[in-house]
Amino acid sequence: MILVDAQGLSASRPGRVLFEDLDLTVSDGDRIAVVGINGTGKSTLLAMLAGTREPESGSVRRGSGVEVSVLEQSGELSGTTLRDALHHGMGDKPWEVEAVADRLGLGAEMERPLEELSGGQAKRVHLARTLVSEAPVLVLDEPTNHLDIDAICWLEERLAAHRGALLLVTHDRHFLDRVCTRIVELDRGGCFVHDGGYTSYLENKARRAADAEASESRRANLARRELEWLKRGAPARTSKPKARIASARQIVDSGPEKQARVGQLPLHAAAPRLGDRVIELHGVTQRFGDPRSSQQTSSQQTSSEQTSSEQTFSEQTFSDKVLFQDVELLLDRRERLGIVGPNGSGKSTLLDIMARRLEPSEGVVEHGPTVTVGIYDQLGRQLPNDARVRDVVAGGREPDWRTDALLEAFWFDADAQRAPVSTLSGGERRRLQLLCTLAENPNVLMLDEPTNDLDTETLRQLEDYLEGFPGAVIVVSHDRAFLERVVADVVVLGGPGLRRLPGGYAAYEAERRAGRVAGRAHNREATEASAPAEPTEPPGKTSTEGGRPSRDAGPTRDAGPSRDAGPSRDAGPSPSTLRHRLRAAQREVDQARADCDSLRSVLTEATDHAELAETGRELAAAEERLERAEEAWLELADQIEARGLEI
3-class DSSP state for residue 319? coil
- Residue 572 is predicted with a pLDDT of 63
CA-based max dimension of the chain: 107
Q: For residue 595, what pLDDT band results from cuts at 50, 70 and 90?
A: confident
- Residue 525 is predicted with a pLDDT of 56
Give the percent of the chain with pLDDT over 90: 25
Helical spans, DSSP H, in 231-299:
234-237, 242-253
Point out the least confidently predicted range of 73-87, 451-465, 536-550, 587-601.
536-550
- The domain ranges of the chain are 2-67+135-201, 279-510, 573-642
Q: Which of 290-294, 506-510, 559-563 reaches the highest mean pLDDT?
A: 506-510
- Residue 271 is predicted with a pLDDT of 65
Quick one: average pLDDT of 140-165?
90
Q: Would you say residue 296 has pLDDT above 60?
A: no
400, 435 contact by CB (below 8 A): no
- Residue 566 is predicted with a pLDDT of 40
Q: How far apart are CA 429 and CA 281, in angstroms?
A: 33
Point out the least confidently predicted range of 32-36, 283-287, 357-361, 493-497.
493-497
DSSP string, 526-581: HHH-SSPPPPPPPTTPPPEETTEE-GGG-PPP-S-S-GGG--GGGG-S-HHHHHHH
Q: Would you say residue 509 has pLDDT above 90?
A: no
pLDDT tens, residue by residue, 357-378: 999 999 999 999 999 999 998 7
Report the DSSP pairing between strands 472-476 and 548-549. Answer: unpaired
Q: Would you say residue 345 has pLDDT above 90?
A: no
380, 306 contact by CB (below 8 A): no
Average pLDDT over the chain reads 77
Fold: same for 2-67+135-201 and 279-510:
yes
504, 484 contact by CB (below 8 A): yes
**CATH class as words, domain 573-642:** mainly alpha
H or E stretch covering 323: strand 322-330
**CATH class as words, domain 2-67+135-201:** alpha beta
- Residue 133 is predicted with a pLDDT of 85
Quick one: average pLDDT of 88-94?
82
Q: Which of 29-43, 260-274, 308-322, 615-629 reaches the highest mean pLDDT?
A: 29-43
Q: Would you say residue 616 has pLDDT above 50?
A: yes
Residues linked to residue 27 through DSSP beta bridges, in sequence order? 2
The dihedral sign for the CA sequence 172, 178, 179, 182: positive
H or E stretch covering 639: helix 609-642
Q: Would you say residue 625 has pLDDT above 90?
A: no
H or E stretch covering 5: strand 2-13
3-class DSSP state for residue 19? strand
Q: Would you say residue 304 has pLDDT above 50?
A: no
Quick one: average pLDDT of 567-578?
58
- Residue 182 is predicted with a pLDDT of 92
Q: Would you say residue 153 has pLDDT above 50?
A: yes
Point out the least confidently predicted range of 185-194, 207-216, 344-353.
207-216
Q: Would you say residue 235 has pLDDT above 80?
A: no
Q: Residue 343: which residues within 8 A CB-CB, separation 6 or more? A: 105, 146, 147, 148, 151, 308, 309, 310, 312
Residue 490 carries which side chain, given as an amino acid letter?
Answer: V
- Residue 256 is predicted with a pLDDT of 53
- Residue 300 is predicted with a pLDDT of 43
Q: How far apart are CA 129 and CA 91, in angstroms?
A: 12
Q: For residue 248, what pLDDT band results from cuts at 50, 70 and 90?
A: low
Q: Would you say residue 121 has pLDDT above 60?
A: yes
Q: For residue 534, what pLDDT band results from cuts at 50, 70 and 90?
A: very low
Quick one: average pLDDT of 406-414?
75
H or E stretch covering 474: strand 472-476
Q: How far apart are CA 38 and CA 425, in angstroms?
A: 7
For 196-321, list the strands marked E by DSSP.
279-287
- Quote the Cα angle for 166-167-173, to 5°: 100
Q: How far apart are CA 132 and CA 524, in angstroms?
A: 27
Q: Would you say residue 299 has pLDDT above 70?
A: no
Entry pTM? 0.65
- Residue 301 is predicted with a pLDDT of 41
Rounded to the nearest 10 degrees, the angle between the axes of helix 575-605 and helix 609-642 is 160
Point out the least confidently predicted range of 17-31, 215-229, 445-459, 513-527.
513-527
Q: Would you say residue 168 has pLDDT above 60?
A: yes
Which carries the bigger pLDDT value, residue 323 or residue 280? 280
CATH of 279-510, one of 3.40.50.300, 2.60.120.260, 3.40.640.10, 3.30.70.260: 3.40.50.300
Residues linked to residue 191 through DSSP beta bridges, in sequence order? 186
Which carries the bigger pLDDT value, residue 433 or residue 604? 433
Buried b or exposed e, range 571-609, using 16+ CB within 10 angstroms: eebbbbbbbbbbbebbebbeebbebbeebeeeeeeeeee
Buried b or exposed e, range 389-416, using 16+ CB within 10 angstroms: bbbbbbeeeebeeebbebbbbbbbeeeb
Which carries the bigger pLDDT value, residue 420 or residue 397? 420
Q: Which of 81-95, 414-428, 479-493 reaches the highest mean pLDDT?
A: 479-493
Q: Would you say residue 531 has pLDDT above 80?
A: no
Q: For residue 571, what pLDDT band results from cuts at 50, 70 and 90?
A: low
Q: For residue 585, what pLDDT band results from cuts at 50, 70 and 90?
A: confident
Nearest to residue 276, comparing CAs of 369, 374, 373, 366? 369
pLDDT tens, residue by residue, 58-68: 999 988 888 99
Rounded to the nearest 10 degrees, the angle between the axes of helix 242-253 and helix 198-230 is 130
